[in-house]
């Protein structure tokens, strides 16, 4: 598959088939993706691949915390504290697209909560990637990490797989560090759901919009 096709095909998938992903495929995706650039070749990525009972246990702990009203708190601020109007509008549109596709109204609070809880189950994907970074690293390494994660998402498409990058999987970092003490001194960046798309599920039918170039690109000569 060419790069253009992969870029246009990639989307945040929110329903997956109950189908295992071969370890060899996961390794091939990571092997390709590790070629992503990083400042002075630091390669700051540290990845935990979680499947099976470990994945189910972790996801259930996430969901229980959410259902119990424990507010998630990431190791860093992912979203702005104060939203500018243009970003607030896109955020609102994103949510409306999801709930209107699922025919969930503003008044159906329980259904909204159930849908949000699926975030903590990684939308039932068979594989979760959790991404960690040393606490000594600075913002430049976060940029490097973004290129690495994008490489994973594009590589996955070549193998017929779908993904969903998820800040939600990093909302309970203390749970993660307790379950995986190998990373007790690391910062939890985020997670990624990986698996085979459930193409019959309506939630995967919508796509978010993108701005026209003239809204965010300026040429100077």
User: What architecture (CATH level 2) is domain 3-206?
Assistant: 3-Layer(aba) Sandwich (3.40)
Reported as half-sphere exposure (CB side, CA atoms, 13 A), residue 108 has a value of 11
pLDDT tens string 8-27? 999 999 999 999 999 999 99
pLDDT value at 62 more than 90: yes
pLDDT of 26: 98
What pTM was computed for the model?
A: 0.96
Residue 68 is encoded by which pair of tokens? 């119990």
Average pLDDT over residues 118-143: 98
Q: Nearest to residue 55, comparing CAs of 201, 203, 192, 196? A: 192
- Strands lying side by side in the sheet with 162-166: 46-50, 127-134, 186-195, 162-166
Separation CA 118–CA 1 (nearest Å): 30
Which residues make Cβ contacts (< 8 Å) with residue 79, sequence separation at least 6? 167
Task: Give CA angle at 31 (143, 164), nearest 5°.
Answer: 55
> Which residue ranges make up each domain of the chain?
3-206
79 Rama sector, left if φ>0, alpha if ψ -120 to 50, beta otherwise: beta
pLDDT tens string 103-124? 999 999 999 999 999 999 999 9
Burial of 194 (0-12, 13-18, 19+ CB in 10 A): buried
pLDDT value at 187 more than 90: yes
Kindly tell me the sign of the dihedral angle through the C-alpha atoms of 33, 39, 42, 45: negative
pLDDT value at 1 more than 90: no
């Amino acid at each position: 598959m060419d790069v253009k096709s992969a870029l246009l095909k990639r989307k945040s998938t929110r329903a997956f088939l109950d189908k295992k992903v071969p370890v060899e495929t996961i390794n091939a995706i990571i092997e390709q993706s590790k070629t992503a650039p990083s400042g002075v070749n630091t390669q700051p990525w540290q990845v935990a691949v979680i499947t099976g009972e470990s994945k189910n246990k972790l996801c259930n702990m996430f969901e229980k915390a959410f259902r119990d009203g424990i507010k998630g708190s990431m190791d860093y601020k992912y979203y702005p504290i104060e939203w500018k109007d243009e970003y607030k509008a896109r955020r609102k549109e994103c949510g409306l697209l999801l709930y209107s596709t699922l025919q969930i109204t503003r008044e159906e609070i329980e259904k909204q909560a159930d849908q949000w809880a699926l975030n903590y189950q990684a939308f039932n994907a068979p594989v979760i990637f959790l991404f960690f970074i040393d606490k000594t690293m600075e913002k430049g390494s976060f940029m490097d990490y973004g290129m690495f994660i994008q490489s994973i998402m594009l590589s996955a498409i070549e193998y017929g797989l779908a993904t969903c990058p998820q800040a939600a999987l990093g909302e309970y970092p203390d749970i993660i560090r307790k379950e995986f003490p190998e990373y007790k001194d690391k910062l939890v960046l985020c997670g990624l759901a990986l698996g085979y798309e459930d193409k019959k599920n309506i939630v995967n039918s919508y796509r978010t919009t993108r701005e026209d170039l003239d809204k965010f690109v300026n040429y100077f000569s």
